[in-house]
Structure 1
Amino acid sequence: MAAIQFQPASLFVLIFVTRAVVQASAKSTCQDRLGVEDGWIGDSQITASTEFAHSVYHGANNARLNRVEQKGTTGAWSAQTNDGNQWIQAALGDPTCSAKTNDGNKCPQSAVGDQTWVIGVLIQGRHDASHWVTQFKVQYSNDGDFWRFVQQTDNHGEMVFDGNTDQNTVVTKLFPTPVKTSYIRIIPTAWNGHISLRFELLGCKANACQNAAGVEDGRIHDSQLKASTEYATAKVLYHRACNARLNCPGKPGTTGHWGAAFNDINQWIQAEMAEETLVTGVMIQGRPDAPQWVSKFKIQYSLDGNYWKFVQTPDTETDMVFDGNTDSSTVVLAFFPSPVRASFIRIRPTAWDGNICMRFEVLAC
């Protein structure tokens, strides 16, 4: 078993896990339907601000995507009034536990679950009438009391999503940044006829987003690993970026690490994914054959390899500095505060011991 230093944000915990925790043969894209449509999310987990005529005919549990009118119910949730105070929400987690228990208390946090990444929503109008939501906002919460709005890119205000233009077409809306949450709430802001909708949520369980992206096992090819500089010796392949695969021990003519030509903050190493990927973190090690490692680093990400953003702290919106290694061989695991959509991930050392040298892996869905 390998010792891993687990570092979500600034929290430091030393744990021991098998490498299987972060290795998976099957690829997940974190675009699973989370269970509104198929009933995995139970009726008691879907609640609304109001229901038209206070009737089960228009109840929140009729709001499942693709639901059609049935005896005693209609094919949508419809609000009692048409105003900006209406909402419908789903509690994620254990379907045997509702958002509120019979005695009025909330489900335990472990039952509702705070381990779901939600990346977007699907919405439709009312199946049996010309009623639909044309614009909406989305809120999320971990406890059902304190709510945050999904924000525009770079946190430039509350995101307003365009909704439906007819009754039955499914509209898919992805969030600029995935949210880790226990509850999702849809708030209509404009509508046709009457506030009515059906919906589904897209995402995945948080632990499904800890798969190795392929630096270590070679699925990410040598040509997809690049660096700012490579330390030059008579053995020209000795310190190349393509040697920086996690747990690489080295082989004849190479060593098991990337070594920068200079020790300054302008150095970086990057991996290019085969397609746009939801990336959740990185794993790093030092040089296996010498006491040289990166002790602190930042992360950049890009969709095109030209325009780059830094992973930032969630509250201060400053570039996040991750703690790195304290020896040559221990694997340090650093999760991002939120997943990022990227085709390229770049590690930028900001402090080091000896020389800038590292091995790494990218974690993704």
Structure 2
Amino acid sequence: MKRSVAAWLLVGLSLGVPQLGRGDVCDPSPCENGGICLSDLAGDSYSCECPEGFTDPNCSSVVEVGPCIPNPCHNGGTCEISEAYRGDTFIGYVCKCPGGFNGIHCQHNINECEAEPCKNGGICTDLVANYSCECPGEFMGRNCQYKCSGPLGIEGGIISNQQITASSTHRALFGLQKWYPYYARLNKKGLINAWTAAENDRWPWIQINLQRKMRVTGVITQGAKRIGSPEYIKSYKIAYSNDGKSWAMYKVKGTNEDVVFRGNVDNNTPYANSFTPPIKAQYVRLYPQVCRRHCTLRMELLGCELSGCSEPLGMKSGHIQDYQITASSIFKTLNMDMFSWEPRKARLDKQGKVNAWTSGHNDQSQWLQVDLLVPTKVTGIITQGAKDFGHVQFVGSYKLAYSNDGEHWTVYQDDKQRKDKVFQGNFDNDTHRKNVINPPIYARHIRILPWSWYGRITLRSELLGCTEEE
């Protein structure tokens, strides 16, 4: 059936009205700077195709262009505009490379090991923009610059009797002679001068509790004579623990095989073994493997605090010279110059008739001062008393003060109590007493301020720390 022209016009109008109502998302065009608008099939959304030099959804942002955009430098290098040429070609930029990289575009990792940064036999491994040093047992620090091989105090007495235990004790002469574990101190003298395990002890051991986790880098062993007969440990193993309950044996590196250390060949000559890698533990236990007659031992552990900064600064060795040690006053026995107890004699383990500093007055205004010449990190102190013609004398407690100019002094404070810290001193004239200074002191001048004493104020000492920082 034919429709009239008017009918067709009405149909067309009715269909066209809603389409004109929807409109076109690209009319007018939302794209700026000559961008071409493209709508999706449904006509609900659009995207802009931007001409070169413009960006963003509507082509509204100008794209910066130049030799440094995009950045041609790798590994975090900074691009700088420069009238630079490579051969005959103008490139217009240079790359400033961060540490550890080089090359035109900072594309090459520098081999830091070529500069041989590891000291004292350390093995260098090159890393990305870095390096690491594998240090021999007695050294530590980023560049193996710290020596960590000082005696930990078995011989000197810093390690007390209670810290040395064993699986058993040998009793001789009907039980009258007892060779206790705390006699196992290197170079100990006397009739009973070592530890000996009981004869029926099939798996003997001796154990040192260091009271806190420390870095142990070696051990010195020594035998002894018992009833005139040389006795010593020919070989041994080492175990370590942080709680005294769970133990690990020291192994051959990269294997599950226990290290069997060589021991002594006679009763008196000390023999040292080093631990590479070092042991980091609170407890160290020595297991004798082969013994001559009986398992008899004197010993010392070597190492340092975990920080590595606890080496003697030179009172005992003489590295700190006489003129660097001064005091508030000086005592003279019988008022004679030949018995003058001068500050320069206040050196740990100093021997002789007059072998320490004694103050001329017994009061709390006395002091012993050490000038370290340069600001130094001081992490510990060892003190010791002395005898004046048979009279036992020592400092029972003390404070510390420090200064960088020798004029303005600060007394070391207890962090928790916020008052002057009083350090525990000695109980006799000969035993070493070590105190850790934590946090450490950074200063050139150190003063020991005696706070209590027995007899007269009498002191031998050593400062511990290091003169360089990583």
TM-score by length of 1: 0.49
TM-score (structure 2 length as normaliser): 0.39
Give the greater-gyration-radius structure (CA).
2
Of structures 1 and 2, the one scoring higher in RCO (CA 8 A, sep 6+) is: 1
